[in-house]
Structure 1
């Protein structure tokens, strides 16, 4: 792999800023289980209209830099996201899952692949990195099959790969490096803002039942005493107090409530 291309791949997707630029990029997960790369693939069949909608939305809705666009070499379009600072793989996976739910919920889950992904339990050896995995050769460019290569592609050329999401000749390493040089990583502040925008707002707690005014009749209060309490209760709305006063008006000259049978 060309030196310039490897440098660009490491700049964007290498698992740790402290790692050597010449280190391998197969794993993309550091020994602490953290990543700087995330990928979302849509395939079986490849659907440029849908994946381009996500590509545009993360820029317009979430104010993130444009992710890299790639063809998988088999059956999918891919979006590759780069983080300026590594985050736990679980956090990265939750982010691309939130993108799927927000923008690709109409697609069958079997058509969408999210990376990093959970490793099968049988292959887990040492936590925390072993809980997550990247398939070997996931990061383009790679030869996937006979005359089929995965590769990063320019946005204006991506639609032509809808029926055949691969290159049938090896991609130019300098061309791949040039495409990657235009991409930018997601800064920590933008990352946190985007995560907040994708997190559903907590449901509002139901309003507490309105407390009855202190003048509400008790089990042994008669109507006259109830109206008197309402009229004198400062916590009761003024309109209700006025109505209570009107009801009591015929009895204002009495020292007691109306006598029964009068």
Structure 2
């Protein structure tokens, strides 16, 4: 569990923040944030919510050359994409970035709730945590998302080792990557953007599934990926 906490701190907590039972405050007192959370859900078609998440997650990687985001189920009725920023950005800039993502890649969707704020996402429980519904939030392997379209939550707390395995290869978006992605989005919609600064981005060593997009993973891929980390897959639901 200590190692999982370290990973959560590495990716999503600002300097000095500590994970705990209270919800994670995404925005600092001086209006900065380093974690962008995109929510897909609410009442309606869970399969459509998931499809839109896949569309945006793949666009982040294919079109904007950003690292793959982490994916979670809320325990309630939403899926979340978690974007980690290596350097905090002003809230207004984060809001503009999310608005452009919606405009460019999901122009007909009203299901992306946006990053914090609105107020319901200023404070967000950090997975894994127990939702008011009685279900658990958890980070999930993207290839398993379709299994949660009717109920985005787990019946029991996810194993810490499994959560750690899902996060240890997640990379934060560097300041240069974020600036270049924002410039690309602005160019898509015809806004004036500053010229992008050429940058060579170091890539992580190739790992199982590192080249797979969200829709490409099979159950066999996921089981093989877990076994490579000495993690035994567990059932999502309790057996009767």
Regarding TM over 0.5, the answer is yes
- C-alpha distance in 1 between matches for 2:178 and 2:164: 25
Deviation at 1:64, TM superposition (A): 0.1
**Do the aligned partners of residues 115 and 96 (structure 1) sit closer, same or farther apart at CA in structure 2, a change above 3 Å counting?**
same
State the partner residue of 1:113: 113
- C-alpha distance in 2 between matches for 1:114 and 1:155: 20
Q: How does 1:138-217 map to 2 (within 5 A)?
A: 139-199=126-186, 200-202=189-191
- C-alpha distance in 1 between matches for 2:18 and 2:130: 22
Deviation at 1:22, TM superposition (A): 6.4
State the partner residue of 2:78: 76
Deviation at 1:105, TM superposition (A): 1.8
- C-alpha distance in 1 between matches for 2:140 and 2:119: 29
State the partner residue of 1:40: 38
The question of 1:134 aligning with 2:114 is answered: no
**Do the aligned partners of residues 191 and 164 (structure 1) sit closer, same or farther apart at CA in structure 2, a change above 3 Å counting?**
same
Q: Give the number of aligned pairs.
A: 185
Cα deviation, 1:44-75, whole Å, max 9, x if unaligned, reads 33322221111111100000000011111111
- C-alpha distance in 1 between matches for 2:78 and 2:118: 20
**Do the aligned partners of residues 20 and 50 (structure 1) sit closer, same or farther apart at CA in structure 2, a change above 3 Å counting?**
closer
Who wins on radius of gyration, i.e. which is larger?
1
The runs of at least 4 consecutive aligned structure 1 residues that moved more than 6 Å come to 22-25
**Structure 1 unaligned regions, length at least 5:** 121-132, 204-262
Give RMSD over aligned pairs.
2.2
Deviation at 1:21, TM superposition (A): 5.7
Asked if structure 1 preserves the Cα contact closer than 8 Å seen for 2:39 and 2:79, the reply is: yes
- C-alpha distance in 2 between matches for 1:59 and 1:11: 21
- C-alpha distance in 2 between matches for 1:102 and 1:163: 27
Normalization by structure 2: what TM-score?
A: 0.70
